[in-house]
Every structure is written in C-alpha cells, then in structure tokens.
Amino acid sequence: MGPQGRAACSLLFLLKALAEPVENSEFFLPGDYLLGGLFTLHANVKGIVHLNYLKVPKCKEYEMKVLGYNLMQAMRFAVEEINNDSSLLPDVLLGYEMVDSCYMSNNVQPALYFLSQDDYVLPIQEDYSRYVPRVVAIIGPDNSESVKTVANFLSLFLLPQITYSAINDELGNKGLFPAVLRTVPGADHQMEAMVQMLLHFRWNWIVVLASGDDYGRENSHLLSQRLAHRDICIAFQETLPTPQPNQTMTPQDQERLEAIVGKLQQSTARVVVVFSPELALHNFFHEVLRQNLTGAVWIASESWAIDPVLHNLTELQRAGTFLGITTQSVPIPGFSEFRVRRSQLGRPALNRSSGGANCNQECDTCLNTTESFNSILTLSGERVVYSVYSAVYAVAHALHSLLGCNQGGCRKDVVYPWQLLPEIWKVNFTLLGHQIFFNEQGDLSLHLEIIQWQWDLSQNPFRSVASYQPSKRRLKHIHDIYWNTPNNTVPVSMCSKNCQPGQKKKPVGLHPCCFECIDCLPGTFLNQTSDEFDCQPCPSSEWSHRKDTSCFKRQLAFLEWDEAPTIAVVMLAALGFLSTLAIVIIFWRHVQTPVVRSAGGPMCFLMLAPLLMAYMAVPVYVGPPTVSTCLFRQAFFTLCFTVCISCITVRSFQIVCVFKMARRLPRAYSCWGRYHGPYVFVASVMMLKMVIVASNMLATTTMPTTRADPDDPRILILSCNPNYHRGLLINTSLDLLLSVLGFGFAYTGKELPTNYNEAKFITFCMIFYFSSSVFLCTFMAVYSGVLVTILDLLVTVLNLLGISLGYFGPKCYMILFYPERNTPAYFNSVIQGYTMRKD
C-alpha cells in the first residue's frame, strides 16, 4: 500500500475512533428522525480528552449545572409533546440523543458522533449530498465558542444547528456559518439594551469585568465600541481568572481576585458590568462578600443573569442591586411538573461496557439537585427554556413541510441535511402566543427583558423591570426597581457631576466623562448639542451674560432726541442759527456802512451762508447713523468751516496788506485787488479741501458700523466708520493750517487802527477752533461711545458759535449800539491818527 493509501486509512481510523459512541450521552430516545442535543451539565473546563472517547465526569466529582439540566429537560419535553400531537408530524416519531458538552471541552467528539452513521463511521467521500448522518439537526451548544467549534464541522454537511443562547454576532455571518440559526437575539441587541439602560439612569462611569474566554473578550470589546459614541466611560476593565474544574483557586488567581475587588472598593464607579459564564463568578462573589463590597449596581450579561446557583447565594443582596439582561419570560404549560418527573427510559446497551454511572435518567443525585431548585426555576418564568422549546418546534415544523405531512400522515423519506436547512429558514408559525420565524441573520427576534434579582421566596427571583424590542431597538417600561440604597434612591455612577446650563466641560485626565465645569464668559454661550467642551462666541450684534446658553440682541445705542445732552446741544444750535440769521439781516441792512465793509463786505455773506447751512444740518447727528448722515458729518461740516476760516484768513491777510504792504509792494497789491485775490484764494482752498475730502471718502467708507460699548458690552454703539477720527483729523488739517495763518496775520495787525484791529476776535476764533479740533481727535482716539457723538456735535456747534458770535458779534454790537462810529468820517479820523503815529 502506498503512502497516500496509508494516510487515508489512518484518517479514516481517526474519524471512526472519534465517532465512537459517546460515553456520557445523557438521554436517548429512539425515533424515526433523531435530534442531537448539546447541553452543559457539568462545569468541566479542563476535561481529560482521550483519542476515542471523553472521560465521563461523575456527579460526585463536579458540581452539576442546574440550568443546563433544565434546558436538556426542555428539549425532552418538546419532543415528547410533539410526538403526542396528532397534527404536527402525524405517524412520525421524533427521537433525540443528548450529550453533556462539559462547558467547552466536549464538543468535537459529539459533533463527529452526530455526523457519523449507525456503524459509528464517518466516511471520507467526494460528495456528501446523499450522506445521511445520525441526526437530522442539532440543538446547542450554549456558548459562542462551542457553537463555532461545532459549526465548523456541521456547516460542511449543511447540518442544521440551532443554538439557544450563543449571542456572538459573528454567528450571523452566513458565509462562515451557513447552517447556524439562533432562537435568541444577538449580542448587538444585548449590548444596545444594556447601553440604553445605562443612559436611562445616567450612569456614565462604569467598570467592566470579563472572563478570559472568547465570550468575555468579544462582548466587552463590543460594549466598549458602543460606549465610545454614547458619552459613557469605562473607569477600568479587568479579566476574571478562570477557576479549576473543582472550583479551587490557585494562589495567583486568589491574589488576582483580591486585587480586582480591592480596585472596585477604591473606584468611584458604582456600576459593574460583568461578561462571564457563571463558572468564573462563584469565587469572585465570595471575595466580594469577604471584602464587604456594598452599594454597587451589578449588571449581568445573559450568561449568568438568571443563574439559580449564584442567586442561591443569598448574602449577595448585601453587595448591592443586581440587574441582568435575558430573554423574555414565556411560561410553558406542564414543563415544571415534567422537569422533576422521574423516568425509566434508558439508552440501549452499547457493545462495550460503561465506564461507570453517569448523570442520565437513572441518576437520582442529579435529579435531586434539580428538584432543590425547582421552585426558583418555576418562579423565574422559564426564560431560556423557551428558546430550546421553540428550536425543537422549528425543526419539527420544517420536517412537517419537508415530508409533505397532512392529516393522513407523512412520507417516511430519507432526510438529507441540505434539504432540511432551507425548510427551517422558511418556518413561520405561532408558539404559545409568539410568532416564530428567522430573520436574515438566522435569529429569532424574541424580546429581551431587564430583570432584577430578588430574594423574597414568595416572589419571582428574577423580576422583569423593563423590556427591549429588537425590531424597534428601544428599551421601554422601566419601572419598580428596588435599589439597595438609603431611601431607595437611584445610585449615582458618574466621574463628574453634570455641569449646570451655561458651563463648559474641561477634560480632566484621559476620560471624556471626567471634567471640570467652567462658566462660559460674557459674550459666549454653550450650545450643548454641538459642543459641550467649548463656549461659542456670540454674533457681533448679540451678547450674553455669564453662564448663558444663548445670546440676546444687544441694545443699539446712538444719539436720540429725547436725551438731555441732545436737547441742550440742539437748543444751543437753534440759538446760534437765530443769532446768525439776525447777523445776516443786520449786515444786509447796513451793507454799505464802514463796519460791514471793513469786515469784508460781500465776503461776509460768503461766510454767513455756510454757517446758516451748518446750523440747519445739526440734526444729522441725531438718530441712527446712515450713509448720508455720515457723509454730512465727515464732509459737509468741514467744508463749511473751511469756507469760513479761509475767508477770515484772507481777510486778515488783506488788512495787513493794506496798511503794511501796499506801500512796499504796490504792484503786487494792485494785482491782488485787480484779479479778486480774496475770492481766488477762497476758491483755491475749497478746491484743495474737496480733493482731500474725496480722497478720504475713497480710503474710508462712510457706511455706519457697530461696535460694543467698552463700558457695557450689552450695548452696541451704532456710529459712523470707526476710523472717523482719522478722517476728521485729515479733513481738519487744512482748516488747522488756515487757522494758524489767520492767527499769525491777526497778530501781525495788532497795531492797526481800532476799527481794523480784529486780532483779538480772530485769535479767539482760531485758537478755539484749533484747540477744540485737537481735543476732539484725541478723545476719539482713546474712547468710543455715544459720548463721542455728543462731543463731536457740541464741538461743531461751539465752533459755529465761535465764528458767528466771536467774529461777527462785536461788529453787530458796534452797528446797533455805536452808530456814530459806523460813519466814514469816524473811520477816516482813525486812519489819519494811525498814519500820523507811524510817521
């Protein structure tokens, strides 16, 4: 025989050896079609595996797993109920063969055994489409790691496998596990229900404890991913040590448990989420009780949420409040009595002798253990039991459809696994008031419930306090939770208390749930929907107080008519207008008199006209600024002042020329008079001034702007361009130069005849205009507010009054009160006296 033949024979021998009868096959019922069952009856994590069989754990060696035994009885009950039902699979007898998977160590041999044929041989074939294994479907195992191990074998044959409690979402991947279905919602829904519960009670600071197997690692990782987007932080995460098969702990494991519980004692997190099979929790909770850890909220995953053995540790009620996530309660009529019914059914004798007594139907010790928990199992509502019960019925309905059953009976055809699998996918029936069908992931969408542990023997030990609908992904009806706290108050588990409205969060450390609360400053607000960690600035037209969550419109401030300063300045302007109008009338009536002619004659009216217009334009300072009013402020008034000051300056120059320069420069003086030098000078100055104003307009806009009042940010000052003071300084620069020239000419002519000596009046006007303009520009540079507008208006009116009354006032006084001095004879005498003194 060649090497390839010897290798094939060796592999065939190995498969035959592994497919030998399973020594710890707990229950067997012959039938036309067999169902395989894998249940955890003993917690033998580190079982001793031989080549051809698994060494059988004895009841006296390992503690029995009550829930596993209960689920196995549920499968038996469902099969017997179907066999006694004349409408479902008539004339067809369902059988079963169930094996203790010992948690995880006994999975491969039962899978190969169920795949083998009656001669315990699993032949190597090129095509298994006509291969008929020992069973038509398998119910179980209970944990995801075992399900994956078994599914890797069963999926090759498309042998249907329905698990009743494995929640790993990877099992929903039909590319990897095409033959796996589940009668329990997946981990996605379990985690969502858990997260929604944490959000409901505002627990954002939790501890996660997980077992070291795939179940603990995968579910804790999935929860961490969910929490990352829900503002819930994990204070710390620890891995629970796995005990020995006999529940003994090594010194290292014991030290590890002590350290974990000690860390829980010191942590501010009071909510502990535990992902672990119940096997690893007995020693842990004993350590919790030993260190007297109290006041915590324990959130149990579905693997131990309704474990009666852990619940039997009544001292746990001192440790805090226990909440868990599990499938909904669906009572099954008659099952509680069936569970404790003693049966004499046995497995047909095998060809080889049994290695010893097993936990089968004839094991009174195991049955007595179940009977001791019968009350708590009954009161708990048979939650996971319904998942096993519905799985058996799903296979039965699929067989009913595949065999073409009717009232007359069913065909007794050979059932191939690949034929039965699609029929299971298509089942849709009602079972005890619940619709049974599988979704696209092969899951049964049963509701989940949040349960609370109770130790009152007269009540349900696992009382439902909330429900979760997978189809709507919503947790609802949270009610009647009794908290093991003073005054029954909801426990608080937060790294930092919630900030008050208007306070931003300043992260402390690495966790976003740990923060300091800092008030938002005035002018900023907190928009919690967009960013809780930063205060947003208010728009320029709005403001906010300290700790505000929104902004309010600022109060617009501008010079208004009903304000006292406005009224005072406007009355002053009205007085100036009336006085100037009176001056115009007086000068008009005495236009040919020496006083009017010495003051400038027709040029006086050139000065008085802009003064009157400037007085009438004073209202542009009052009310909300507009483009036109800003234009008036920056251009019109300065042009009016330029006309007046240039006229005063040229008048001062002309008087000096008459008395002091006419004799020295007669030709220049003649040209000055012949070509209307004063008017040419005024026109030239006006042209230059208009160029300066136009350039300033192009450089700085006249559009009104708003800016906050530095003394009260709630007020928004509406004014002309903020660079207005710069423009004002540029526009008045020429006026300031003219005022200096006018002052110089006036001072030069201080020795002229009294009627022509206007040095005092011109000096007063020019000094006042010069100083007020410099003061106004300086004030605008260091202060901004409505006061600037008031001061600008006041300075403008005072400058107008300075020219009106300071220059024209004395002349009107002479005309009205000293008419004898307003004669040509008097003026000639004064000039002759001046000439004689000079000679």
Domain ranges of the chain: 29-185+360-444, 187-331+447-476, 503-553, 564-836
Residues 147 and 139: beta-carbon distance below 8 Å: no
Summarised one tens digit per residue, pLDDT across range 291-343 is 999 999 999 998 899 888 888 888 999 999 999 999 888 889 988 888 777 65
Half-sphere exposure of 234 (CA within 13 A, CB side): 20
**pLDDT(403) > 50:** yes
Q: Collect all residues with Cβ–Cβ distance below 8 Å to 573 and sequence separation of at least 6.
A: 615, 618, 797, 800
Gap between the Cα atoms of 362 and 352, Å rounded: 19
Whole-number pLDDT of residue 48: 30
Gap between the Cα atoms of 633 and 731, Å rounded: 11
Q: Collect all residues with Cβ–Cβ distance below 8 Å to 437 and sequence separation of at least 6.
A: 427, 428, 429, 444
> Residue for token digits 């300091």?
516
Whole-number pLDDT of residue 244: 62
Closest CA to 815 of 580, 630, 589, 653: 589
Gap between the Cα atoms of 225 and 232, Å rounded: 11
Q: Collect all residues with Cβ–Cβ distance below 8 Å to 333 and sequence separation of at least 6.
A: none
Gap between the Cα atoms of 803 and 614, Å rounded: 12
Gap between the Cα atoms of 709 and 7, Å rounded: 95
Residues 309 and 66: beta-carbon distance below 8 Å: yes
Give the CATH fold of the 564-836 domain. Rhopdopsin 7-helix transmembrane proteins (1.20.1070)
DSSP single-letter state for residue 50: -
CB atoms within 10 A of CB 326: 25
Residues 731 and 696: beta-carbon distance below 8 Å: yes
Which CATH superfamily hosts domain 187-331+447-476? Response regulator (3.40.50.2300)
Residues 151 and 177: beta-carbon distance below 8 Å: yes
Summarised one tens digit per residue, pLDDT across range 209-223 is 999 888 899 999 999
CATH of domain 29-185+360-444: 3.40.50.2300
Residues 338 and 77: beta-carbon distance below 8 Å: yes
Residues 499 and 520: beta-carbon distance below 8 Å: no
Summarised one tens digit per residue, pLDDT across range 225-237 is 988 888 889 999 9
Residues in the chain: 839
Whole-number pLDDT of residue 120: 75
Q: Which two three-digit tokens encode residue 44? A: 């033998």
**pLDDT(61) > 50:** no
Q: Which two three-digit tokens encode residue 801? A: 């009054």
| Torsions phi, psi for 185 (to 5 deg) | -60, 150
Summarised one tens digit per residue, pLDDT across range 66-79 is 778 888 889 999 99
Residues 184 and 442: beta-carbon distance below 8 Å: no
Summarised one tens digit per residue, pLDDT across range 249-279 is 788 889 999 999 999 999 999 999 999 988 7
Same fold yes or no, 187-331+447-476 and 564-836: no
Summarised one tens digit per residue, pLDDT across range 354-390 is 333 333 444 445 555 556 666 666 665 567 889 999 9
Q: Coil, strand or helix: which one is 827?
A: helix
Q: Collect all residues with Cβ–Cβ distance below 8 Å to 488 and sequence separation of at least 6.
A: 482
Summarised one tens digit per residue, pLDDT across range 519-568 is 999 889 988 777 888 899 988 888 888 888 889 888 888 888 888 888 88
One DSSP character per residue, 529-571 reads: TT-SSSPEEPPTTEE--TT-SS-EEPEEE---TTSHHHHHHHH
Residue 779 gets the label, from left (phi > 0), alpha (psi -120 to 50) or beta, of alpha
Gap between the Cα atoms of 785 and 558, Å rounded: 8
Strand partners, 505: 517
**Helix, strand, coil: what percent of the chain each, to 5?**
45, 15, 40
